[in-house]
Structure 1
Amino acid sequence: MAAAQNELTFRLSRCHRSVPRTRALAHAVLGEWGVDQDILEAAELVLSELVTNALRVPVPSDRQVGVRIARSLAEGLLRLEVSDAGSGLPQVRTPGDEETCGRGLLLVEALAHRWGVEDRVGGVGKTVWAELKAPDLASEPPEQKVAAVLVLPGQRVRVRGEWRVVGGVRSERIGADGSAVVLELDEGPALRVQPAEPLVVRQWEDV
């Protein structure tokens, strides 16, 4: 996983747990960005549909799905991107009343301000993207509570009442499908937490 103040990127294995994991991470980052509840729920749904579609694309089992969640404060937009290594382009369908699937892109089209498909940057396959209007996007305060996955090197994080400088951030696999965020600190042992766990951070200049 990689995080920056205005974006979050991560990769997903091709398994059924990847969709709820995506929703949890999206909920965490959009909540920290101050996104209105209605927009947050719409974004979670759109991203879930895009990830579900990507997981159904026939590709080798070792090819992961890439996800990027980004915000533009100037434009008041959220951008959701899902990349896969498959060929072909997604098509909006109108399924019959008896069909139980095939409505994903109809939901994306209804909820997104706009959406589209482009070649995958730096690899084979494609990226399906959707943008949602989010005029209430908040700027970053000097001190804030964020999901662990959003902590950056150079920030300070409050650990047991003390401020520690984050020297490095990496992800660590736990079991077959789980993961943790590991923060390397300037003092003491590394901090190992769940990606969505809230932590209080601030830029080092503000301390």
Structure 2
Amino acid sequence: MPAALTIPPAADDEYSCWLSRHPRSGSTARRLLREFLALHASGERFLDAAESVLAELVNNAVQHSRTAPGRLLLIRFEHKPDHLRLEVHDAGRTRPALRAASPDDENGRGLRLVQELSIDWGWCPREGGIGKVVWAAIAPEDRDRRVSTGNRPCGQGTGCCPLRDHKALYESSTQPVLVEIEGICAPATFPRLPEALAALWRSLQLLPLGEAQAATMRDALTHPRAVGLAAESIRRDGRLDLSFRMNGRLHSALIRPAEPPPTQE
């Protein structure tokens, strides 16, 4: 059986435990999570997604961390009213990264599952020690999570495209950009680049892109460095151009600086 060395929790809403790097540590972690959430009145609202995410994080640490024999894993749970934070600490230095997996691959989908089931996730170096921490935040079941890629087709005209609808959600700024999905959505102007990226991703989610293209677009538009990379492309090339194929045709999703309004004579 995998070893489990419990650390006294810092508070009722926190729990930490050491686990051995063993193939069955994922099931041990899930059992400890169920016991932890059972202590909270709202705990079961997080359970299904949290169990799946925690199992993936632990399995990744067991299978992919390049560490010396005998190194342990630390799991940590923190229950808050609006989300559950999961952490897995290991001594490895390999950075977790999303990768494309073909439909026939048995592996390679773990972090994509983590991304789909969590409201946010990431990693950072461990403070005061070697290795890293991979974490995820889980929303309760009655709150919307990330919207998965749908298969709803999109017709022509502005009624099918939410670009203009999202524009009203964001604050104004002094660096407007124009967003267009060529042949599908008419151009729409947004006050700032971050809001333009968010609206473009939400619009692309309505298109039947397929799993591989959707994953590429999601990484390009929602990655923590997406705004900086997009800004660099616009400075260098005058626009950000993301191409995709749909219904046998090549389309482009474009972001470019908006034309300044004409000055009054």
State if a TM-score over 0.5 links the two structures. yes
Equivalent pair of 2:90/2:132 in contact (CA under 8 Å):
yes
Change over 3 Å in CA distance of 1:5–1:36 after alignment to 2 = closer
Which of the two has greater helix per residue? 2
Aligned-pair Cα RMSD in Å: 1.7
1:5-84 superposed matches below 5 A: 5-35=12-42, 37=44, 39-56=46-63, 57-73=65-81, 76-84=82-90
1:108 partner amino acid: V
2:138 partner amino acid: L
Cα deviation, 1:4-36, whole Å, max 9, x if unaligned, reads: 301110011011221111010001111221335
Q: Compare CA radii of gyration and give the structure with the larger one.
A: 2
* CA drift at 1:122: 2.1
Question: 1: distance between equivalents of 2:98 and 2:141?
Answer: 27
Cα deviation, 1:79-129, whole Å, max 9, x if unaligned, reads: 000011111210112211111011110010000010011111221010000
How many correspondences in the alignment? 134
Equivalent pair of 2:66/2:94 in contact (CA under 8 Å):
no
Question: 2: distance between equivalents of 1:53 and 1:107?
Answer: 12
Question: 1: distance between equivalents of 2:71 and 2:51?
Answer: 23
Question: 1: distance between equivalents of 2:24 and 2:127?
Answer: 26
Unaligned segments of structure 2, at least 5 residues: 1-5, 143-265
TM value normalised by structure 2: 0.48
Between the aligned residues of both structures, percent identity stands at 38
- For residue 175 of structure 1, what is the aligned residue in structure 2? none
Which of the two has greater strand per residue? 1
Structure 1 residue ranges (4+ consecutive) displaced by more than 4 angstroms after TM superposition: none
Unaligned segments of structure 1, at least 5 residues: 137-207
